[in-house]
């Protein structure tokens, strides 16, 4: 089934969601989804171990962030790096324990990098995606994270074509800022409950956009992103956008704006998307001529604000904004983008 929006531009996307959902339900079997809780259930409470190790000297660190990494004892070729950005009110270790990234890295043999916010920078431990000085090219927090990535690439002999990034909430907005500012650095990224680059310029506008979204045309969103990168990128990274319909912190309208931004950056026709369904619900996919996924968009029924993790992967200790759901976002990112790249 082809993905065809009933209105243009994409700012009207959300008004069309119910219609194409009804069409899907006629053509495909219905799924029942577990009602998500705010935290993963804990069958046997215990403190999971995090293998994250702090790295002190990785560069000038203008954003004053903390670097943590996990390098499994056995690594597979080609050498791969996955960068993970936590959300507000989370630490790197909490996010790692709740998401299962270290377990996956150990099983699959790739290196993990966890940049971590400090309270001195943001009292709620949010990455400052809304401050122009924090997300400018080679400045602030963005530059600190790039220095961490370069340090990890050199230390572990990472294949430069095998760098991936995931972010949740403020970490999702920061991941998106990195993807548009340094597109040549990443093979692909996953943005969960995040926001488009250029959506806000200070804390007040950030809160407004998170609540209601921001109306711009796809071309305007694309121009904001192109202005962040210095020089034209030969290729743009593939991107997976995840958003909960029941998100009470970041309005679903922001996912539509994120989609508009990346459709414009990839030069993709909005009507060329293929619409399908899996355990998480509806998914729209845009592919290149070779069939490789360039853009994925998920608007998930019943999902509040957080990282969805399937029950079989859920941590045994509750972590903030880790949600038990029908599908695991880290596993899906690995299977669809990391493993197949």
Residue 139's pLDDT is what? Answer: 96
Q: How many domains in the chain?
A: 1
- What is the model's pTM? 0.86
Range(s) of the domain holding residue 176: 2-338
Residue 314's pLDDT is what? Answer: 53
Residue 329's pLDDT is what? Answer: 97
Give the whole-angstrom CA distance, residue 252 versus residue 241.
11
Give buried/exposed letters for 9-28 (b at 16+ CB in 10 A, else e): bbbebbeebeebbeebeeee
The active-site residue out of 50, 99, 144, 169 is 169
Q: What is the mean pLDDT of each run of 10 residues along the chain (341 residues)?
A: 45 46 42 37 46 95 98 96 98 96 97 98 98 95 98 98 98 99 98 98 96 95 93 86 97 98 96 90 93 95 94 65 92 93 67
Indicate if 169 belongs to the active site.
yes
The enclosing domain of 117 has a CATH number of 3.40.50.1820
Residue 22's pLDDT is what? Answer: 52
């Amino acid at each position: 089934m082809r993905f065809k929006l009933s209105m243009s531009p994409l700012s009207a996307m959300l008004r069309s969601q119910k219609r194409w959902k009804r069409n899907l339900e006629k053509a495909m079997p219905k799924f029942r989804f577990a009602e998500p809780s705010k935290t993963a259930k804990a069958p046997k409470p215990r403190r999971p171990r995090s293998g994250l190790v702090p790295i002190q000297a990785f560069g000038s660190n203008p954003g004053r962030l903390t670097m943590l990494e996990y390098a499994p004892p056995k690594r597979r070729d080609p050498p791969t790096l996955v960068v993970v950005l936590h959300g507000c009110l989370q630490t790197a270790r909490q996010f790692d324990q709740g998401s299962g990234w270290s377990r996956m890295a150990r099983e699959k043999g790739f290196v993990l990098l966890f940049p971590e916010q400090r309270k001195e920078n943001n009292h709620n431990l949010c990455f400052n995606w809304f401050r122009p000085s924090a997300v400018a090219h080679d400045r602030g927090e963005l530059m600190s994270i790039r220095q961490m990535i370069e340090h990890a690439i050199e230390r572990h002999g990472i294949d430069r074509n095998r760098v991936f990034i995931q972010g949740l909430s403020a970490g999702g907005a920061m991941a998106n800022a990195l993807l548009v500012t340094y597109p040549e650095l990443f093979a692909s990224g996953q943005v969960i409950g995040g926001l488009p680059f250029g959506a806000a310029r200070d804390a007040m506008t950030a809160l407004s956009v998170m609540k209601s979204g921001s109306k711009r045309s796809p071309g305007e969103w694309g121009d904001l992103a192109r202005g962040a990168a210095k020089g034209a990128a030969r290729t743009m990274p593939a991107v997976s956008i995840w958003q909960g319909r029941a998100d009470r912190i970041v309005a679903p309208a922001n996912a539509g704006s994120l989609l508009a931004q990346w459709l414009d950056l990839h030069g993709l026709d909005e009507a060329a998307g293929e619409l399908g369904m899996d355990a998480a619900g509806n998914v729209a996919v845009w592919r290149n001529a070779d069939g490789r996924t360039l853009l994925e968009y998920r608007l998930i029924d019943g999902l509040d604000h957080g990282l969805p993790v399937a029950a079989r992967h859920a941590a045994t200790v509750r972590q903030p904004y880790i949600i038990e759901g029908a599908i695991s976002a880290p596993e899906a990112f690995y299977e669809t983008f990391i493993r197949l790249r």
